[in-house]
Amino acid sequence: MASALTRMHRAWWIVAITFLTLVSAAAFRSTTGVMLLPLESEFGWSRSLTSGAVALHLLVYGFTAPFAATLIERFSMRRVVCAALLLVSTGLFLTTLMTQSWQLVLLWGVFVGFGTGCLALIFGAAVANRWFVKRRGLVTGLFSAGYATGSMIFLPLLTFMIESSGWRSASLTVAACSAVLAPVVFIFLRDRPSDLGLLPYGATQEVDLGPAAPATARGAIEVLLTSMRHPAFWVLAFTFFVCGWSTNGLIGTHFIPAAHDHGMPVSTAASLLAIVGIFDLIGTIGSGYLTDKVSSIWLLVFFYGMRGLALLTIPVVLGPDVNPPLIFFIVFYGLDWIATVPPTVQLCREYFGVARSVVVYGWIFAFHMLGAAIAASFAGWIRETNGDYEVAWYVAAVLCLIAMASLFLLRKIPTLAQREQTRLVAH
């Protein structure tokens, strides 16, 4: 056993640390939906206000991501990740002292939004690119599943804590986990295999990743402006916008309140959302495995198409009790939840090159969280205006089906490398 551990490539230890960090970042995401009702009850805040705070968090979270790649390049991965964990911990601790609505907006939106933005899947994509040549899709799937595992571990626990001890105990629990993990990251995380005199996993010689990711904010913006001239960027940005709309923004934020509207106890709804996390762990790792073997375009066509059809069923299956059709929806939606991430990251690599794909994916991820932010706010407004979420479910379903159709455009779009090669041949 000891010799097997000795032979294990250090890259897998880096995977374990990264996974734990992403689980911690996901813990906050699992608290927002279950905290809306207690906050509204204690402070008398409206659903629009609490949804707005979540929306700002998602927006800051998303638009921090492309600059997180720049911060990692400039200041090192472990420093940025450690600082982000401490910022999340501080923000969540301070929420327990708040008395005004603007404080919720500041702490959830800015403090925790920026901190979790630095811990987004951009961090995971950077680790996969730097530490792996083989198994990149599988590793990206594992990191994506970290979000699911965070929800799976924390959501039932936090729901129980909120019901028994109040929402402040849940905030303090997540804050403590983030604070404890920060020194672990600083001690054990390393930026590149070369820092330890190693090659990436699966490599037999030094690997050329192409042009390095920019180390300045201006450079990150230049990558965006360059990428925006490529049609593939807009297809991937739109589909990921829809992904964020239909997951974090809609289901992640409003499933528990919507189930409560139908007479379901909050603890039961939270348990169902945790089951989504369990099956997402399976679905996302499976997606990562398939990304190494199957066309990413066809994977995404399947994922968005089936997600759209599933969303059409919510008004029918949601009720006061857990029934077989609802269980089927939960299991299926779980398998599809973040399964879109590995093939999207892979398409960024194919169309924009390995090294710069992290920043490009950062901008595409920003669109993901923009979609989530708009959906969180839109669904809250729909609930206040109509008294239910039915319109919100149908809008999300239609967007998923449009996203599925748009992916067929990618099959006819050349990659940047192919366009460069064509230009060189022409000259």
Q: What is the pLDDT of residue 129?
A: 81
To the nearest whole number, what is the mean pLDDT of the chain?
A: 84
Q: For residue 150, how far is the Cα from the chain centroid? A: 11
Helical H segments across 76-191, by residue range: 77-95, 101-104, 112-118, 121-131, 136-165, 167-188
Whether 208 shows a pLDDT value over 80: the answer reads: no
Q: What is the pLDDT of residue 232?
A: 92
Whether 415 shows a pLDDT value over 80: the answer reads: no
Whether 183 shows a pLDDT value over 60: the answer reads: yes
Whether 102 shows a pLDDT value over 80: the answer reads: yes
Backbone angles phi, psi at 132, to 5 degrees: -135, 140
Q: How far is CA 50 from CA 46, 234, 266, in A?
A: 6, 31, 17
Share of the chain above pLDDT 90, in %: 24
Please, is 159 exposed, middle or buried when counting C-beta atoms within 10 Å of its C-beta (0-12, 13-18, 19+)? buried
Q: What is the pLDDT of residue 160?
A: 82
Q: In angstroms, rounded to a whole number, what is the distance separating the alpha carbons of residues 169 and 427?
A: 66
Q: What is the pLDDT of residue 103?
A: 92
Across the range 49-77, mean pLDDT stands at 83
Residue type, 394: Y
Comparison of pLDDT for 71 and 304, the residue scoring more? 304
Q: CB atoms < 10 A from the CB of 85, how many?
A: 27
Q: In angstroms, rounded to a whole number, what is the distance separating the alpha carbons of residues 230 and 225?
A: 9
Q: What is the pLDDT of residue 1?
A: 46
Q: Report the largest interatomic distance among the alpha carbons of the chain, rounded to a whole angstrom.
A: 72
Q: What is the pLDDT of residue 226?
A: 87
E strand residue ranges, 315-372: none
Token look-up 């799937």 returns 141
- Contacts of range 268-273, beta carbons closer than 8 Å, 24 or more positions apart: 268/322, 270/33, 270/34, 270/155, 270/156, 270/158, 270/159, 271/155, 271/156, 271/159, 272/322, 272/326, 272/330, 273/30, 273/33, 273/151, 273/155
Q: What is the pLDDT of residue 238?
A: 97
Q: In angstroms, rounded to a whole number, what is the distance separating the alpha carbons of residues 204 and 197?
A: 13
Using one digit for the tens of pLDDT, what is the confidence trace for 352-398? 887 678 788 889 988 998 898 899 889 989 998 998 899 999 999 99
H or E element in which residue 18 lies: helix 10-43
Using one digit for the tens of pLDDT, what is the confidence trace for 243-269? 999 988 898 888 888 998 999 988 888
Q: What is the pLDDT of residue 2?
A: 44
- Give the pTM: 0.76
Q: In angstroms, rounded to a whole number, what is the distance separating the alpha carbons of residues 398 and 400?
A: 5
Using one digit for the tens of pLDDT, what is the confidence trace for 322-354? 888 998 898 888 888 888 988 998 999 888 887
Whether 295 shows a pLDDT value over 70: the answer reads: yes
Concatenated DSSP letters for 306-320? HHHHHHTTHHHH-SS
Token couple for 348: 């960024």
Using one digit for the tens of pLDDT, what is the confidence trace for 214-249? 667 788 888 889 889 889 999 999 999 999 999 888
Q: What is the pLDDT of residue 23?
A: 82
Domain architecture of the chain: domains with CATH: 9-192+214-426 (1.20.1250.20)
Q: In angstroms, rounded to a whole number, what is the distance separating the alpha carbons of residues 76 and 251?
A: 34
Token couple for 199: 């090659």
Using one digit for the tens of pLDDT, what is the confidence trace for 126-180? 888 888 888 887 888 888 777 666 666 677 778 788 888 888 988 898 889 889 9
